[in-house]
């Protein structure tokens, strides 16, 4: 079986974002470029973050910007190294800085 690298990476990124409790909206801006709008829920249209991607010959570039003013970051990912380091940083910033809601307790 042959798996398309770009589709596989995007599927893995969406799974990671959903595991952090968010939903995704995809907008392709070219054959190898696009934007994923990270929303709070699957019915929300207001983005909490925007993840831009650009797939190149030997690597991919991901940029993440946040609505709440947190510092944006850019990751250059070699296809040989995979997404592990990028996932660690992405999940850290998506789940970080959250204040626990104690009213529900």
Q: What is the band of 70 on the pLDDT scale with cuts at 50, 70, 90? A: confident
pLDDT of residue 102: 47
The pLDDT of residue 89 is above 50: yes
Tell me how far CA of residue 7 lies from CA of 4, 26, 34, 44, 104, in angstroms: 5, 12, 12, 24, 39
pLDDT of residue 96: 67
The pLDDT of residue 97 is above 80: no
Asked if residues 24 and 14 have their Cβ atoms less than 8 Å apart, the reply is yes
* Domain locations along the chain: 5-96
pTM: 0.81
Q: What is the band of 64 on the pLDDT scale with cuts at 50, 70, 90? A: very high
Asked if residues 40 and 46 have their Cβ atoms less than 8 Å apart, the reply is yes
pLDDT digits (tens, 9 = 90+) for 13-54: 999 889 888 999 999 999 999 999 999 888 888 998 999 999
Share of the chain above pLDDT 90, in %: 54
């Amino acid at each position: 079986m042959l798996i398309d690298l770009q589709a596989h990476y995007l599927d893995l990124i969406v799974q990671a974002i959903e595991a952090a409790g968010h939903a995704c909206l995809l907008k392709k801006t070219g054959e190898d470029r696009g934007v994923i709008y990270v929303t709070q829920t699957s019915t929300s249209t207001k983005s909490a973050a925007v993840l831009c991607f650009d797939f190149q010959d030997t690597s991919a570039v991901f940029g993440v910007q946040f609505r709440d003013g947190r510092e944006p970051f850019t990751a250059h990912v070699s296809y040989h190294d995979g997404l592990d380091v990028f996932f660690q940083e992405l999940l850290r910033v998506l789940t970080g800085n959250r204040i626990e809601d104690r009213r529900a307790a």
